[in-house]
Amino acid sequence: MKTPNLRSPFAGWYAIRNRFGSWRIDRRTPPVLVGALGLMLVAMAINISVGEYPIPLPDVLRTLFGLPTGNADYSFIVTTLRLPRMLVAALVGLALGIAGAITQGLTRNPLAEPGILGISAGASFAAVALIVVVRTAPTSAVPVAALAGAISVALVIYLLAWRGGDSPIRLILVGIGLGAICNALTTLMITFGDIYDVQRAIIWLTGSVYGRSWPEFWSLAGWVAVFVPLALALARDLNALHLGEEVAYGLGTPVVWRRGLLLITAVALASATVAAAGAVGFVGLMAPHIARRLVGPDQTGVLPAAGVLGALIVVVADLIGRTIFAPIELPVGLITAVVGAPFFISLLWMQARA
């Protein structure tokens, strides 16, 4: 193969082609992506149609495609109230699924998820402090505080875990320790806070997409648009890192640099979801495991599959939460916890047997 002239104006194109030219995915991945995406769209349409003001499913589809329905209220209910909520739910699941796959690949621990690094705990601590302690802060500042808390904790974790090189085990241990500290401080504030403020904080901590509108969607979509493509571009490096540092170095992977970039990507995706919808747990644990069962261990297939499956999980969880005890709505984080906790226990049991 002819070596390109690096001084050529096409040198950048050669670099991009070499980077992505051999990017291949398992043949099982496209059917899984199409199937999960189709199920997610069906769940979203059903979710939009149900509620205190039910809308026939054909009218939901007509409204989404801009066709007349004979009822002027449908447009407001679908496009202003329910559609942005569904899109936020899908993006939250997408980001958590990919962040979970990256976390498990980096730490080489199948039980890892973004929450194990203390990211969710840091976001929760900052948000609860704003709600319970500051009190006068506007509601719109809560997502900003959550995002700042998640990023701050992630930065502290990485700095403390760095000692002549980063270690996956050290990252987990430091993350668990800082997460425990943040959770303890959060519990302390809830215990001694005003009852009204505490109720607001607990609802936010549970994880919910209730009342989410277009501003929340566009804010989250910006993070997803930047970091999801970056995660997919780093999938081959994640394959190498998952095999161990020595193998990764042997394959020519700049381990410290790539690991740091992948960690930043996972933190950004996870913290953005906490800022948009609160702490939605176990999605980052379940989606990568299901993806690996369906598409194999190659991260070039696991990452996109985990993202789409994560979106499906959150949308279906929100549908269950809205319908199981209607007209009472359960937070999506409660549904994912009810399903995710037994899933986590089964993983522990299988690992103990192995």
- pLDDT at 3 exceeding the cut of 60: no
Q: Where are the domains of the chain?
A: 27-115+210-353
27-115+210-353, which class in CATH?
mainly alpha
Say what percent of the chain tops pLDDT 70: 85
Instruction: Provide the mean pLDDT of the chain.
Output: 82
- Write out pLDDT tens, residues 22-32: 456 667 888 99
Residue 28: which residues within 8 A CB-CB, separation 6 or more? 294, 295, 296, 301
The single-letter code of the amino acid at 62 is R
Query: Residue 300's closest CA among 34, 102, 93?
Result: 102
Query: Residue 235's closest CA among 34, 36, 12, 24?
Result: 24
Distance separating the N- and C-terminal Cα atoms of the chain:
46
- pLDDT at 227 exceeding the cut of 50: yes
| Confidence label for 246 from pLDDT (cuts 50, 70 and 90) | low
| Confidence label for 195 from pLDDT (cuts 50, 70 and 90) | confident
Average pLDDT value for residue range 113-139: 81
* Residue 115: DSSP 8-state: G
Provide the CB-side half-sphere exposure for 58 (13 A, CA).
3
* Residue 139: DSSP 8-state: T
DSSP-based three-state secondary structure for 62: helix
Which residue carries 């199948």 as its tokens? 110
Query: Residue 14's closest CA among 1, 24, 4, 29?
Result: 4
- For residue 349, the model assigns a pLDDT of 79
> What six digits make up the tokens of 147?
């995002």
Residue 5: which residues within 8 A CB-CB, separation 6 or more? 11
C-beta separation of 235 from 105 below 8 A = no
| Confidence label for 335 from pLDDT (cuts 50, 70 and 90) | very high
Residue 58: which residues within 8 A CB-CB, separation 6 or more? none
- pLDDT at 282 exceeding the cut of 70: yes
Q: What pTM was computed for the model?
A: 0.85
